[in-house]
Structure 1
Amino acid sequence: MDRREIAALLAYIGRLDPRTIRTDEGEARYQVDQWHALLGDVPMATPYGWDARIAAHRHIRTSQYPILPADIGRPWDGYKRDRLSRHTDPTPCVDPDDQAAWTAELIGTRRAVAAGHALPAQDRAITSVHAGPDPQLQKRLREIGSPIPPAARAALAPLRPARAAREASVAQGHPDPLGVRCDWCQAQVDEPCRRRRVGLDGSTRGGALMSAPHPSRLDLAAQQTPQPAPA
């Protein structure tokens, strides 16, 4: 708060508690200087829940003692701690290889949350259903074309030959059987099929991984693969 805001806050407090009013001009100026020195970094109000007048009103309503600058500064510190405790650092939208920019965006986001200029970013597992993916991250992903850069993908290919063969097959327009769920063995997307034997009592046994997907999974993948338009 600047000096004018401090003076306005003291005038508001004086209307609620006349004991704080200073009638002498020199004493009033000294009071403004004192409060400004202690509360200069505390805002009068923020867009998200903080208002120094509410803190003053709460103290005057619940305490028999005259209000002090600490009775405004203490709730403000608690407000910042509460917001940061509910904040989960979102992934910065800058290049992760640029460490300085990455760190600067994290710090800037935390400061904005603590100062009440931005809402705390909650865990994406809870909020992503409604909030959706970050538009800036989606834009960057479209520019790159893949979460894994081409150079890194090429370097990883010898270490994961099955994945590399699958990506090469999809790039040639072939169906991707691991891109769909298997109705026979219940293997999820990106998981290989498992051997499944049905006993005489109807129970299923087995579970060994298969090198090739079940035929029904291949058929389902072929049905969901867009067919090229006829020439």
Structure 2
Amino acid sequence: MDRREIAALLAIIGRLDPRTIRTDPGEARDQIAQWHVLLGDVPTVTPHGWDASVAARQHIRTSPYQILPADIARPWESYRRDRLARHSDPTPSADPDDQAAWTAELIGTRRAVAAGTAQPAQARAITSGRDGIDPRLKARLRQIGSCIPPAARAALAPYRPARAAREAAIAQGQPDALSVRCQWCDARPGEPCRRRRIGPDDGVRGTVPRATPHPGRLDLAAQQTEPIEQVQQSAMA
């Protein structure tokens, strides 16, 4: 609040509690200067729920003591803490490699929430899926094409042989074998097939992931893909 706003607030308070009125011009100037030093960083009103006159009226209504600047500053600090406690930092739209821009946007959002000029960003539920992504991030993801850059995907391929084989098969137009359950090793959709380790007594000692799915799983995926392709062809016809 500037000095004019402080004077207007003191005028409102004086009408509600005459004990705060200063009739001497010098005392009135000193009172405005004192309140301005203590409440200069407190806004008069914000777009989202804060009003200094409401805080003053609440104190005068509930307390028998004469109002002080601290009786306005305390509710303001509580207002700030409550808003920051309900705020979960949304992912900045700036390039993550630009540390300065990323940090500046994060800090700017927090300051706007604390100052009451922006609403707290609530954490999205896990079930919100891709619909809850920020539109700017969604546009950037469409531009890139994948969350993993091609160079990083190629570097990870030797350590993820099953996923690399799956991606290569899909790129070649083959059916996605991991989209169905394997009837041989009971691997669930999305999981690679597993190979059994047999001991000398013909007992199963363990299983290890296979780089390629079982042939029966490929056939099952192809069977489920064919009806979809037929429906698409008939729709185009």
Partner of 2:173: 173
Alpha-carbon spacing, 1:55–1:219, altered in 2? closer, same or farther (3 Å): farther
Partner of 2:223: 219
Alpha-carbon displacement from aligned partner over 1:38-80 (angstroms, at most 9, x marks no partner):
1111111111111111111111110001111100111111111
Alpha-carbon spacing, 1:57–1:214, altered in 2? closer, same or farther (3 Å): farther
Please give the TM-score of this superposition, normalised by the length of structure 2: 0.79
Kept after mapping to 2: 8 A contact 1:13/1:20:
yes
Counterparts of residues 35-184 of structure 1 (less than 5 Å):
35-125=35-125, 128=128, 132-178=132-178, 180=179, 182=181
Helix, strand or coil at the partner of 1:66:
coil
- The root-mean-square deviation of aligned C-alpha atoms, in Å, is 3.0
Kept after mapping to 2: 8 A contact 1:177/1:221:
no
Alpha-carbon spacing, 1:219–1:61, altered in 2? closer, same or farther (3 Å): farther
Alpha-carbon spacing, 1:19–1:109, altered in 2? closer, same or farther (3 Å): same
> 1:130, 1:56 → 2: CA distance?
45
What amino acid sits opposite 1:23 in the alignment? T
Query: Which deviates the most, 154-163 or 54-63?
Result: 154-163
> 1:131, 1:63 → 2: CA distance?
49
Shift in Å, 1:220? 3.2
Kept after mapping to 2: 8 A contact 1:193/1:214:
no
What amino acid sits opposite 1:17 in the alignment? D
> 1:73, 1:167 → 2: CA distance?
60
Alpha-carbon spacing, 1:98–1:5, altered in 2? closer, same or farther (3 Å): same
Helix, strand or coil at the partner of 1:124:
coil
Query: Which deviates the most, 92-101 or 63-72?
Result: 92-101
> 1:15, 1:62 → 2: CA distance?
16
Partner of 2:188: 187
Partner of 1:198: none
Alpha-carbon displacement from aligned partner over 1:22-48 (angstroms, at most 9, x marks no partner):
112111111111111111111111111
> 1:101, 1:45 → 2: CA distance?
30
Please give the TM-score of this superposition, normalised by the length of structure 1: 0.81
Alpha-carbon displacement from aligned partner over 1:155-191 (angstroms, at most 9, x marks no partner):
111211111121122222223243x464976935x33
Alpha-carbon displacement from aligned partner over 1:136-164 (angstroms, at most 9, x marks no partner):
11011011111111121111112111111
Alpha-carbon displacement from aligned partner over 1:121-144 (angstroms, at most 9, x marks no partner):
122226947972200110110111
Kept after mapping to 2: 8 A contact 1:183/1:217:
no
Query: How many residue pairs end up in the alignment?
Result: 217
1:21 matched to 2:21? The reply is yes
> 1:113, 1:43 → 2: CA distance?
13
Alpha-carbon spacing, 1:157–1:64, altered in 2? closer, same or farther (3 Å): same
Kept after mapping to 1: 8 A contact 2:96/2:102:
yes
